[in-house]
Amino acid sequence: MSKVFVNIGLSLDGYMAPEGMTMDDPGHKNWGAKWGAMMGWLLRQQAFRETHNFGEGGETGPVNDLVRRTMERTGANIMGKRMFDQGEVAWPEEAPFHTPVYVLTHVKREPWVRPGGTTFYFVNDGPESALAQARKAAGGRDVRISGGADVIQQYLSLGAVDELEIALAPVLFGSGRRLFENLQEPGPQFRIDSVLSGSGATHLRYVRE
């Protein structure tokens, strides 16, 4: 069976997103600069640049190989409505997923097909249903829980996450959306699988015990 994994960037003080992060006001509380400091390492990787049409060049090496493997293993994505709403404003016409994406929402909407292989499906009957649909669509590849933090927390509480891949960046947000809040007890147990040091983040991989 395919794996369910989380692959995200995280600030040193545990936030996935800085306070006030909204595309409507990119200057609010300097969130754009904070997010850029956390995720700048990714934008420099050759595999990311190629896949997202950012042009030639970019860094190669172990971190780039990690990015490429993550993209290759992903057969479907799951995200929350808040993340989708921000992305719908900011993503290019060819959305950066190239897989089916299942959006957890109370809003009913027909599937949204984008160029490049991304189709957004809007799931109104909960995280278990979204996961079942994503597994089927992934065709044996893995399912990525893309975010935001509340959606990841839901799948952690369900015990559905097999792997956590966290790029821990040396930046402090001070406030925002924490990754590990509102988890049900007892929480899932993970062990350290690998640690990779990069120029902009330390890449931590945990697997379920």
Q: What are the residues facing 77 on neighbouring strands? A: 101, 144
Alpha helix positions (H), the chain:
31-43, 46-51, 62-73, 81-90, 127-138, 149-157
DSSP 161-209: --EEEEEEES---SSEEESS-SPPSSPP-EEEEEEEE-SS-EEEEEEE-
Q: According to the model, what pLDDT value does residue 80 have?
A: 96
Q: According to the model, what pLDDT value does residue 90 have?
A: 84
CATH number for the 4-208 domain, one of 3.40.50.1220, 3.40.430.10, 2.40.128.110, 3.10.20.30?
3.40.430.10
Q: According to the model, what pLDDT value does residue 126 have?
A: 96
Q: According to the model, what pLDDT value does residue 81 have?
A: 95
What string of pLDDT tens digits covers the 209 residues of the chain? Answer: 789 999 999 999 999 988 878 766 666 667 888 889 999 999 999 999 988 877 789 999 999 999 999 999 999 999 999 999 988 988 889 998 999 999 999 999 999 999 999 999 999 999 999 999 999 999 999 999 999 999 999 999 999 999 999 999 999 999 999 999 888 888 789 999 999 999 899 999 999 99
Q: According to the model, what pLDDT value does residue 27 have?
A: 64
Dihedral sign for Cα 70, 176, 159, 151, please.
Answer: negative
Give the burial class of 111: count Cβ atoms within 10 A of its Cβ; 0-12 exposed, 13-18 middle, 19 or more buried.
exposed
CA distance 51 to 158: 32
Q: Contact, 95 vs 77, CB < 8 A? A: no
Q: According to the model, what pLDDT value does residue 35 have?
A: 87
Q: According to the model, what pLDDT value does residue 24 have?
A: 67
The Cβ-side half-sphere exposure at 165, using a 13 Å CA radius, reads 17
CA distance 95 to 185: 36
pTM of the model: 0.93
